[in-house]
Structure 1
Amino acid sequence: MTFIKPNKTAILASLLASTALGSAAMAQDQTLMLSQPDIAGDRIAFVYAGDIWTADLDGAHPHRLTSHPANEGRVHFSPDGKMLAFSADYDGNQDVYVMSATGGQPKRLTFHPGRDRVTGWSADGKSVVFSSSRENRFGRSGQLYHVSLDGGLPVKQMEARFFAGSWSPDGKTLAYIPNGPAYNALYGGSSGWRQYRGGATPSVSIMTPATNKVVNIAGDRINDLNPMWVGDDVWFLSDRDNQSLNLYRYDSKTSALTQQTHEGPWDVRSAGTDGTQIVFEAGGRLKRFDPQSGTTTEIKISINPDLEQLRPKWKKLGKQISAIGLSPSAKRAVITARGEVFTVPLEDGSTRNLTGTDGVREFGALWSPKGDKIAYINDKDGAYHLVITDQRAEKSTRRLALGPTGAKAFYTLLNWGGNGTHILYHDNHLNLYTLDLASGTYKKIATNTRRAGFATSVSSDGAWLAYTLEQPNFLADLMLYNFASGQSTQVSDGMSDIGSPAFSPDGKTLYFTASTNSGPTQVGLDMSSQERPYRAGIYALVLSAKGKSPLLPKTGDEEAKKEKAKPAKGKKKKSAKADKSEEKKKVVTKIDLAGLSDRIVALPLPERNYDTLSVSKKGALYYVERTQPGITNEPRGKNPQAANVLKRFDFEEKESKTVSRQIGSYSMSADGTHLIIRKVNNKIVTAKAGEKLKPEALDLGGVKAFIDPRHEWEQIFEEVWRMERDFFYDPNMHGLDWQAIHDRYKPLLAHVGRREDLNALLSEMIGEMQVGHNRVGRGDVHNEPRTSTGLLGADLRIENGQYRIKTIYNGENWNPFLDAPLAEPGLGVKAGDYILAINGRPLSASDNIFALLEGSSGEQVSLKISSSGNASDARTVIVEPTGSERQLRHWAWVESNRKWVDAQSGGKVGYVYLPNTAGAGYAYFNRMMFAQTDKEAMIFDERTNGGGQAANYIIDVLRRVYLSGWKDRDGKVYNTPGGAIYGPKVMMIDQDAGSGGDYMPYAFRFTGLGKLVGTRTWGGLIGISANPPLIDGGFLTVPFFRFFTPAGEWRVENEGVAPDIRVELDPIAYNAGQDTQLERALQEVMDGLKTYQPKDLKTAPPYPTKIGH
């Protein structure tokens, strides 16, 4: 099949317009969106569009050093100014590179599959300093490493946390921040969060390793970033003035702290120094600061590079499909992809792009039941409207308002109604509408009580709408709406949860799902919904009082033939074709509302997780049976949704059979003859409806469009701004002048040179809202192919000029989900052994072992192992390296903590780690808590908790009250409730625990369970996941709901939960192997045990001595 090309003149005009726009932006006196500057004498280095540039101190003679499509950044001059160190993603992973400051071929220094972020140089210029999480066991920060310019294994400098920092000129003192800010867009992250004031605000520490001395620059709940040395003083960025990030100076002799710059409204986002002068970025501009005079000079740079991501080009969109459907008789499929609407033939014809509107987003296309029209939404002129066009888009189109002018809403099309006379849709404010196409007027049908969406079905004659409506009890009722009267009728009684209504084509029956025991699953925010099955039956509603159940038994009797009425005198006899046509037109959906709920019939099917019901032309019922919600450990690379199946219920046989597997979604053509199926792997197939499906792949080769990045990026910018306005939980946006923010950031759009930088601009813009979870990322960014470097699951060190194994992580040998390559039984490899060669290649201290393990993840690798380091006792073993050691190291840390607590408490205290408040946290809690209910007290460690749900399940279990004991003749007594800890409890918290990790300690303290030990939590109790993705597949997470206390106070957001007992993770103690927070938590529990009086009886009372007692 071939694509019908759009008008060549239009394409040429688009190319010219794009080129003009790009050239105009670049030809200005100054190029903006410059970032990450550093300085060495009279030269500066900076990043633009992911490439490294240098220029004179006055901005003259800009020179591009790199042009790889992968990202380069975090550029730092060497102390002598002759070399540049930077991080780059050349092989799909962020590694450390160096190159001459005048240009040339970069040299790679690190090869580990973890992310290595350059932060500077050693004072002698012989090593590059970087942060890496490669050996981290917990926490979101990395650790400090040096890697020699000659290569070899990087050397970890300390165990304590390290995010960014620099060494003093004499190399004796380190100024650093241990953790990164929640405002991570400053470091290439997706979250803009200006004026963040939660627990993860970093403070600058000044450490002298030789003396184990640490000085912390004073500051609480402020962001101190980018520490660097000018002489003996530490300079850094801070927002402690409660305005913008600015440059501050800390006098190391007097401890005096002074603000040096007063930039605003833009933040100073990054800065670099050569020890005498400072260069920084603010608002996409570079500026130079002279510490001696205190003056700031702007560095104006004008560049006009050739940028691959700016080039307009054709793109195949088969993997970017957001909506699919079939024409009424299944001759074509209608597809929405990357903001364009296509129709794709199942057999004859060519793919057509019905829209071809560069820089405008079209979505949600629906084919009319008569087949003559297609409806979709577009955002032309910055507002969402309904568009009605013919199936070839050759005639004039109509554009209709979906709401009042200026409405702050996003709309989703659901169905055609009224036999093609109406359109059904809903908005993001929970309203269901119908729009009369003849008059262009819209009417609200219903409003949901909460954000649940609407499942709809329209009868074949277009007279009736069946829809679901969520009630205050979180369950959805079945409703019927009559287009003629405009009235809705409730069918179900509110005691069950209704889903997926589907009218039969003959208009006699309405099928739907209903669950009478799904209450515990309905509030998905609650962790108590974990592993609660959604069990529903499928039901048939007989619509007419004279109708019959589709399950009535067949009697086998002969039916009397009805004589056909003779035509009146003078009238011609109708042809058979005319009879069939008239019979088809005579389908009328007659619904007798009286006694309707009494005509519900249950289909003979087991209760399962069913959805997406539809009825074929021949009356068979199709539906999807999905996997049950819950926590299961799947083998790596397997999608649990692959177990979803498409079923067909045969009313003749009264049985159901699977007709297709690995179902993502499907829909049926309006005439009930064909299905279009989207598989879990996103493959799209079509098939004729029948007992057995013969799926055929839909040819998506013609689904492509001409994309002009400049135009598309402008659409994305505007839609992100609108979605924040339309979806944010507070319609007033906390009083922020959102239009003014738009107007301030929009001019920078012309300077964006790649999709990644558009994300950076957007994250800064939405960061003005000063809330958490507000993120933007991905989209049509460059994705470098990743090399799968293998890891051995061990700590390796250089000793005696050779690689030696320090620690082997076993990952619990019986656990199939923790790959521990060197711990496999039978290998005989142990800590202390040397690795002499890999795949026959000798290994020495000058080699980087990870370079030899590139491409080895999951592959067989031979290792020459020696206990002595000599070839005399060497042996060869075959192992399969793993792609990640993170879980191995993490679980080793968890187990070491549990064993330490057990040993230090004499077996009285248990330890439970909680990684998040979603699936993993639920699994960890159940595994560790109930296995230690023989303890008297418990420590719950939620440091670095990643959140997810509100942990009511954990709190409910911990609040259990001793109700009774039970005595068997033999064995120990047991209690009701079982699995409870009645003794002292504490919860450990830190700055890396957030979202659900904020809520859990809040609830722990609110319910009086115990004290919180550690540091203030992250501070993000605001929820996301309501708005749709962006046109090119990028994500935006607009916060649309927020936590408040029983006292009616907005709390925790941008605040965090403060500990009862504040304990920092002391870096000196941590370097020595001590966890000061865990030590203090154990002390608190042990102190509590001194006065604790057990509530549960360990022994039963004396046996009764009287009969009947």
Structure 2
Amino acid sequence: MRHPLALAASLLAASLSVSAAPTGLLRQPAVSAQHLAFVHGGDLWVADRSGAHPRRLTSHAASEFAPRFSPDGQRIAFSAAYDGNVDVYVVPVAGGTPQRLTWHPGRDVVSRWSRDGQRVLFASPREVLNGRSNQLYEVPVGGGFERKVMEAQAFEGSWSPDGQRLAYRPYNMAYAGPSGWRLHRGGSTPPVWIVDPVRQTWAAIPHVNASDSNPVWVGDEVVFISDRDGKAANLFVFHTKTQALRQLTRETSWDVKSVDAHGSTLVYEAGGRLKSIQVDGSGAADLAVDLRADSPQLRAQWKDAAGSIEGASLSATGKRVVISARGEVFTVPVKDGSLRNLTETSGVREKDALWSPDGQRIAYLSDASGRRHQVVIRPQNDAGQPGPAVTHLLPADDYFTLRAWSPDGQRLILADQRLQLHALDLKAAKPALQRIAVSPRRQGFGGGFDLSFSPDSRFLATTIREANHLTRVVVFDFQTGQLQPVSDPLVSAENPVFSRKGDLLFFTASTNAGPTRVGLDMSTQERPLRAGVYAAVLAADGASPLLPKAGDEEAPKDEPKPAAPAAGTKPEAAKAPEPKVKPVRIDFAGLAQRIVPLPIPERDNQALAVAADGALWLLDRRQPGIVRDGNAGGDGPAPADLHRFDFEERKAKLVRAGVADFSLSGDGKKLLLDLGRGRLEVADADAKADAKPLDLSGLKARIDPRAEWKQIFDETWWMQKAFFYDPAMHGLDWDGVYQRYLPLLAHVQRREDLNELLVEMIGELQVGHNRLGGGDVHQETPVPVGLLGADFTHEQGAWRIAKIHTGDAFNPFLRSPLAVPGQAAQVGDFLLAVNGQALSGTRNLYALLENQVGKQVTLTLAKSADGTQGRRQIVVQPIANEAALRQWTWVERNREAVDKASGGKVAYVYLPDTGAGGFTYFNRMYFAQADKPALIVDDRRNGGGQAANYITELLARPYLGSWKDRDGLVFDTPGSAIYGPKAMLIDQDAGSGGDFLPYAFKRLGLGPLIGKRTWGGLIGISANPPLIDGGFVTVPFFRFFTPEGEWRIENEGVAPDLEVELDPLAVNAGRDPQLEAAIADVLRRLPQADPNLPRKQAPAPAALGK
């Protein structure tokens, strides 16, 4: 399907309209006495203050952002992602080569300048002891040591005109980065605080439950952005002397996104346009900026599609592979021939391509009709040239997946987002969808059905997830229209596949799957699944595939005679008659008694397939929690081992390890291996299975960026409509949202701009977990910067080690480079040189550690700054990330503080998330302290993951009794329980599963919540597929409600019983007011705990036999 003329005309009209109107999508304005700076297309631009005479200041393909003028207006500090690392740079306003000021691999984002213009203020997470936060630093414009402004967390700040006070935002925002969440009203609604670090005072600008950000000083006033009016984010002004607060702007259609000031003039961004206003409210004006410059990302380009493969399958005999990638349909030869792109439709997404069973046609889905799917069937002749296509338009609004083609070529099977399975009869006069199954529950986050046709195409075996969360194998009969169960309701059965003869139906079944089925529950963690492989004998008079072997001689078989040659033809030209497909018979009565277990070990067996020789192929998926290799959380499915079960030998043998997926050709003689990361191999489906890589070097697509971006825009809008948990879209006019945002698409200059625009669009739904990002954005070749797992100070002109984060001795993946026995540094050592290069003056330590990750690096240390005392050298291997080291330092510091303050009576357990990490942390910390009578659980900055029922159920267990050992200590049932007072620490950065955990803790009456209101995001993701270029959008498709039937937590958070702020002055002094409050609360209640719960002493037996 080629580019329609109408599409080309519309795009041309759009481009013409853009050239005649002011440029849009102008971001992050900055203003000086004479100039205006802003970001457009990822580059920095400078113009007159009116917006006239714009010129591009930077032109690197990587993102440049956060421009800020120096006080004299001669330089601009900004952040850029050069070399894959976000750092601070300075460039003259007149232009030139930017000067790099930071090298640390943490994300260093420019905030403002010092008032004397000698330092750049920036925010970074580099030394945060526990994630999801930033701190403020200053770096000299000449380079050198970056000084931390204060220990308290901060995301952005601005110094007062006298340089004494800092107005700053202390918390993260819910509406930021890939997260679209306008008008958030949960816990992540940051205030603006003003601190005087010298006088040790601080105050908060009057705050309500809204998000305040971007503070900037204008004399004695602080201007900031706030969405407190409940309509849109606007500018507000706070007078620090009179304490008066007033609203400055009245934007209603678009949020104010950023602001800067010079003198009394403010410039800000709203709706992709720049505006100015005086701080007294006068002089409001739009700044019309007309940019006319080349945009490299707008050029049509040939893109490698191998990295965005969505699906691949072999042709009937395995001579070619059809691949769906980057919205195109390709066929790739296994051996002979050339690669072909059958569609060539940039701006249209074709996907889910399937070969017909006879290899003569290809079917796929297309959205060429616009935000609606159609089935396209394209016949192919012997020369491989595409013939005319046949299309079948599918129902509007629904989002379909093409799943299978019947062996007789008559039917296509499709699934939709409503958990329905459909058949499309291609031989019908008017083909229409026939619903054949509905799954009561979603089968995993993909929502897919396992499928297998019988050889005669009469039956379709599939799976449905039932109300009990177990999966059942069912068979649909196209002759009778009936759906019949095959597997027992007391097992979880999956992966059905018919034998080649149609006499057997193989499937997997598990009797221990129950505790693993509700994946949202943390109690599913580290529960190995055991699934056996079974064969259902379909006919009542059928035979088991494992009948005993008699060892007798076989009777000779009559060989079929070849057909006589037709008159006038040569004998060799005659062909043997094609064998007829034997009708398949299924006797459902008594089928449950004809299920035979195969001698294959029970494990996570998946993806059954039957080859031409009758052998059964299957995957053994490796399960988490069995082996710890430090590589958890990788891309794609967990690696699996491919096995082949031979019915003659009656034994399964390992064929290939490290396989992501596999499939067979239509005739069952060829094997397609998916090894992940765009690697495909093809082999004969025999015992050896010697595989050869499929050549994908030519898998390229010509991409028209504007056409593809329009498709991504449309599909993002469409996926929200199709997958959002509420079909009514919370009452929002979603069609109106489309029309409002569509004109801005013409101003997109690069893929990153499109992401920003789409995040704003999905933000109109005002819910959490609605995120978008990735895709074909620019990727820098990373230059990793090494880290030493230490804090440094700058004393006597030299770098000095202030703290070494030693890590965890019992976690082999958490070790500090400076704490290796025999090559260890010490706190107080001066670091003088790296690999012989002196670290002095304006040299930056991290500049010397650039490209040194994992390499042997020689450090010169000394006990004195001049190197005259205790000078020595050690050899270390810098690491790429030290966040986990710092987190463990923070956890251990808290645990020791609790232990010391309570005299060893209170346990402390931290949970970084409610997924695998939180499960590991809880088990590591809780059971080791279960002998203590009281407990503090720290949920702060919890990244979420699952509903932590495992933790709350364990903490809520009632005491049932104790057992007396003759010589050992009494032990209890349940064991390892803490029955004394408990408390939970919470804050605004604990969200998702970090919201549910304190909700459950409070509902079960386990103890008070102490700290700040949590994030407020209990709406779940994600059932929708990725975007055409690999970008992600996570549409929430389920939401939490309480036993009372109330929508709670989402956009609300969980409120503490005792609210405690993290006083920045206390934090700067090394204190943790929230932890101190929790300790005090638990110790206050500890004397009131029942000393007999549990009973630690048992009375002596009263009498014989008693």
Whether these two folds match at TM > 0.5 is yes
1:985 paired with 2:982, answer: yes
- 2:819 aligns with one of 816, 820, 823: 823
Q: CA deviation at 1:381?
A: 2.1
Give how far 1:661 is off: 1.2
Counterparts of 2:639 and 2:266, CA distance in 1? 58
**Partner amino acid for 1:232?**
D
Structure 1 distance, partners of 2:565, 2:301, is 67
Instruction: Answer yes or no: is 1:124 the counterpart of 2:113.
Output: no
Per the alignment, residue 408 of structure 2 pairs with: 419
1:704 alignment partner, one of 666, 691, 700: 700
Distance 1:567 1:1013, change over 3 A: closer
Query: Is contact 1:289–1:297 with CA below 8 Å preserved after alignment?
Result: yes
What is the rounded CA distance, in whole Å, between the counterparts of 2:558 and 2:609 in structure 1? 34
* Residues 576 and 903 of structure 1, relative CA distance in 2, 3 Å threshold: farther
Secondary structure of residue in 1 paired with 2:701: strand
C-alpha distance in 2 between matches for 1:472 and 1:488 = 17
2: CA distance, partners of 1:42 / 1:1097: 75
Structure 1 position 754 matched with structure 2 position 750: yes
Name the stretch that deviates more: 1039-1048 or 550-559.
550-559
AA partner of residue 432 (structure 1): L
**Aligned partner of 2:32 among 21, 26, 40:** 40
CA contact (8 A) 2:565 2:574 kept: no
Give deviations 1:402-426, integer Å, cap 9, x for gaps: 33xx3x2111111112611000111
**5 Å matches for 1:693-1092?**
693-869=689-865, 870-871=867-868, 873-1092=870-1089
Of residues 69, 81, 84, the one that matches 1:92 is 84
Question: Conserved in 1, the CA contact under 8 Å of 2:784 and 2:853?
Answer: yes
The answer as to 2:213 corresponding to 1:217 is no
- Structure 1 residues 98 and 36, CA gap change in structure 2 (3 angstroms): same
Using the TM superposition, give the Cα deviation of residue 778 of structure 1 relative to its aligned residue in structure 2, in angstroms: 0.7
- Cα 1:743–1:565 change in 2 (3 A) is closer
Could you say which residue in structure 2 is the equivalent of 1:111?
A: 103
Q: Secondary structure at the match of 1:679?
A: strand
Q: Residue in 2 aligned with 1:256?
A: 244
Distance verdict in 2 for CA 1:659–1:568, change over 3 Å:
closer
TM-aligned CA distance change 1:770 to 1:672, over 3 Å: same
Matched positions, count = 1093
1:413-452 correspondence to structure 2 within 5 Å: 413-417=402-406, 419-439=408-428, 440-452=431-443
Give the Cα–Cα distance (whole angstroms) in 1 for the partners of residues 180 and 1103 of structure 2: 74
Question: Structure 2: which amino acid aligns with 1:753?
Answer: Q
Corresponding residue of 1:3:
none
SS of structure 2 residue aligned to 1:662? strand
The structural deviation recorded for 1:844 is 1.2
Deviations for 1:438-485, whole angstroms, at most 9, x for unmatched residues?
Answer: 221211011111111210101122121111111111111111112222
Partner AA of 2:93 in structure 1 = A
3-state DSSP of counterpart to 2:579: helix
Supply the AA of the counterpart residue of 1:289.
I
Whether contact under 8 Å (2:681, 2:693) holds in the other structure is: yes
Instruction: Give the alignment partner of residue 319 of structure 2, picking from 328, 331, 350.
Output: 331
TM-superposition CA deviations, 1:856-906 (whole Å, max 9, x none): 110000011112332453111110011111111110000000001000001
Report if the CA contact (8 A) 2:979-2:1094 is conserved. Answer: no
Taking the aligned partners of 1:1007 and 1:626, their CA distance within structure 2 comes to 37
Equivalents in 2 of 1:566, 1:710: separation in Å? 62
**Other-structure match for 1:157:** 149
User: Which amino acid is the alignment partner of residue 442 of structure 1?
Assistant: L
8 Å CA contact 1:386, 1:402 repeated in 2 = yes
TM-score by length of 2: 0.96
Q: Secondary structure of the residue that 2:920 maps to in structure 1?
A: helix
My pick for the range that moved more, 292-301 or 249-258, is 292-301
Range with greater deviation from structure 2 (1046-1055 or 635-644): 635-644
Residues in 2 aligned to 1:14 and 1:625: alpha-carbon distance in whole angstroms: 50
3-state DSSP of counterpart to 1:319: helix
2:384 matches 1:396: no
Contact 1:192 1:774 in 2 (8 A): yes
**Matching of residue 268 in structure 1 with residue 229 in structure 2:** no
Within 2, Cα distance between the matches of 1:1097 and 1:286? 67
Q: What amino acid maps onto 2:641 in structure 1?
A: V
In the aligned structure 2, how far is the partner of 1:354 from the partner of 1:193?
40
Structure 1 residue 245 and structure 2 residue 236: aligned?
no
Same amino acid, percent of matched pairs: 52
Q: Aligned to 1:222, what secondary structure does the other structure show?
A: coil
Q: How far apart, CA to CA, are the structure 1 residues paired with 2:565 and 2:135?
A: 98
Structure 1 contact 648–657 (Cα < 8 Å) conserved: yes
Shift of 1:194: 0.8
Determine the structure 2 residue equivalent to 1:525: 520
Structure 1 residue 581: Cα displacement: 5.1
**Equivalent runs, 1:296-315 vs 2, <5 Å:** 296-315=284-303
Instruction: Please show how residues 154-553 of structure 1 align to structure 2 within 5 Å.
Output: 154-184=146-176, 189-292=177-280, 294-382=282-370, 383-391=372-380, 392=384, 394-403=386-395, 406=396, 408-417=397-406, 419-439=408-428, 440-452=431-443, 453-553=448-548
- 1:679-734 per-residue CA deviation (whole Å, 9 max, x = no partner) reads 14441100001111110111112211110000000000000000000100000000
**CA deviation after TM superposition for structure 1 residue 826, in Å:** 1.0
Q: CA deviation at 1:1097?
A: 4.2
Q: What are the equivalent positions in structure 2 for 1:547-586 lying under 5 Å apart?
A: 547-561=542-556, 582=577, 584-586=579-581
Cα deviation digits, residues 1078-1106 of structure 1 (max 9, x gap): 00011110111121113434533232252
Match of residue 60 from structure 1: 52
Paired letter, 1:430: L
1:600 paired with 2:599, answer: no
Alignment partner of 1:659 out of 652, 655, 659: 655
Distance 2:222 2:311 in 1: 55
Counterpart position of 1:49: 41
Distance 1:236 1:214 in 2: 17
Structure 1 943/267 Cα, relative in aligned 2: closer, same or farther at 3 Å? same
The whole-number CA distance in structure 1 between the counterparts of 2:641 and 2:131 is: 40
8 Å Cα contact 1:402/1:435 also seen in 2:
no
1:662·1:680 contact (CA, 8 Å) conserved in 2?
no
Contact map agreement 1:962 1:1095 (CA 8 A) in 2: no
1:167-196 Cα distance to aligned partner (Å, 9 max, x none): 011101111110121011xxxx00121111
Are the counterparts in 1 of residues 69 and 77 from structure 2 also a CA contact under 8 Å? yes
Please say if residues 309 and 709 of structure 1, whose CA atoms lie closer than 8 Å, have aligned partners that are also in contact: yes
Pick closer, same or farther for the CA change 1:642–1:765 going to 2, 3 Å: closer
**Greater Cα shift, 245-254 or 551-560:** 551-560
Change over 3 Å in CA distance of 1:252–1:619 after alignment to 2: same
When residues 1104 and 1036 of structure 1 are mapped into structure 2, their CA distance, relative to the original with a 3 A threshold, is same
Counterpart contact for 1:140–1:179, Cα < 8 Å: no
Cα distance change of structure 1 residues 577 and 177 upon mapping to structure 2, 3 Å threshold: farther
Shift of 1:225: 1.1
The aligned amino acid for 2:52 is A
Tell me, yes or no, if the aligned pair for 1:803 and 1:845 is still in contact at 8 Å.
no
Q: CA deviation at 1:845?
A: 4.0
Any unmatched runs of 5+ in structure 1?
Answer: 1-5
Instruction: Work out whether residues 534 and 629 of structure 1, in 8 Å CA contact, stay in contact via their aligned partners in 2.
Output: no
Supply the distance in 2 between the matched residues of 1:835 and 1:749 (Cα, whole angstroms): 52
Q: Post-superposition shift, 1:19?
A: 8.9
